[in-house]
Amino acid sequence: MQDLGINWRVVKPSLWAGAGGMVLGALLLTYLFGFMSPSTAEKLAARKSDEAVVAALAPGCAEEFRSLPDADDRLAKLVANRDSYLAREAFPKELITLPGKSYVDYSLIRACTALLVKPEQTES
């Protein structure tokens, strides 16, 4: 390897100082100024949007659940499985599926269950 006349004793500390400054700058941007990457912002926005959709759909879900012909039997099943993934079996799939999705949404199940089952109804 050919020596290019670089004095590494001078350059090496400068490189380490630059790397340390970049790390410190990233930390300051993130924690002090609230900077976040675009992908993190998209994830946060999607989560907030899903929460808003669930909050809007839950009252309708509870109302439609109460109007089902076998609502009392389904409610008993829901009370028995309130804190379990089996709670989804008490609901018709179309009540707990978000618009445009093909799978049940467990956040909607929890929100709808909270409106249907009062705390004193749960089994001890």
Tell me the per-residue pLDDT of 15-56, one tens digit each, with 9 for 90 and over: 999 999 999 988 888 777 777 788 988 999 999 998 999 999
| 92 token code pair | 């018709």
- How many angstroms from the chain centroid is the CA of residue 27? 24
The domains of the chain are located at: 1-35, 38-117
Copy the structure tokens of residue 106.
């467990």
Is this prediction's pTM over 0.75? no
96, amino acid identity: I
